[in-house]
Amino acid sequence: MKSHAHTNRHAGITDIVFIIGTALACVLLDQGTKYLTRISLALHEPVSLIPGILSLTSTRNTGAAFGMFKGQQASIIILSLAALGLLGYWCMHELAREGRRHPLLFMISCGLIMGGIIGNLIDRVMLGYVTDMIDVGVWPVFNVADMCLSCGVGGLIIAVLGEGGESKRKQGEHFVVRNIRNSAVLTRKAKACIGALCQGRGLMFSRRKRDFGLVFIFDCEKYVPLHMWFVGYPIDVIFLSSEKEVVEMMESFRPFSYYRPKKKARYIIELPDGTVAKTQTSEGDKLSF
What domains does the chain contain, in order, with CATH numbers? 2-161 (no CATH), 174-288 (2.60.120.1140)
Render each residue's pLDDT in the chain as its tens digit; 289 residues. Answer: 344 444 445 456 778 888 999 999 999 999 999 999 999 999 999 999 998 899 999 999 886 655 555 666 677 788 889 988 888 887 776 665 544 456 788 889 999 999 999 999 999 889 988 999 999 988 889 999 999 999 999 998 887 766 544 444 555 567 899 999 999 999 998 988 886 656 666 776 667 777 888 999 988 898 888 888 778 899 999 999 999 999 999 999 998 888 999 999 999 999 999 999 999 999 999 999 8
Over its C-alpha atoms, the chain yields an Rg (Å, rounded) of 25
The answer to whether 151 and 159 have CB atoms below 8 angstroms apart is no
Determine the 3-state secondary structure of 176 from DSSP: strand
15, 135, 146, 236: the catalytic one is: 146
The count of other CB atoms within 10 Å of the CB of residue 31 is: 19
Determine the 3-state secondary structure of 233 from DSSP: coil
Write the Ramachandran bin of 200: left for phi over 0, alpha for psi from -120 to 50, otherwise beta: alpha
d(CA 162, CA 166): 9
Per-residue confidence (pLDDT) for residue 142, from 0 to 100: 93
d(CA 255, CA 269): 16
Per-residue confidence (pLDDT) for residue 69, from 0 to 100: 59
**What are the residues whose beta carbons fall under 8 Å from the beta carbon of 39, sequence distance 6 or more?**
none
d(CA 191, CA 287): 15
Per-residue confidence (pLDDT) for residue 210, from 0 to 100: 78
15, 30, 132, 285: the catalytic one is: 132
d(CA 239, CA 229): 19
Closest Cα to residue 146, out of 177, 191, 113?
A: 113
Per-residue confidence (pLDDT) for residue 12, from 0 to 100: 61
273 is known as an active-site residue: no
Determine the 3-state secondary structure of 134 from DSSP: strand
pTM: 0.56
The count of other CB atoms within 10 Å of the CB of residue 147 is: 17
146 is known as an active-site residue: yes
Identify how many contiguous H helices and E strands the chain contains and give both numbers: 6, 12
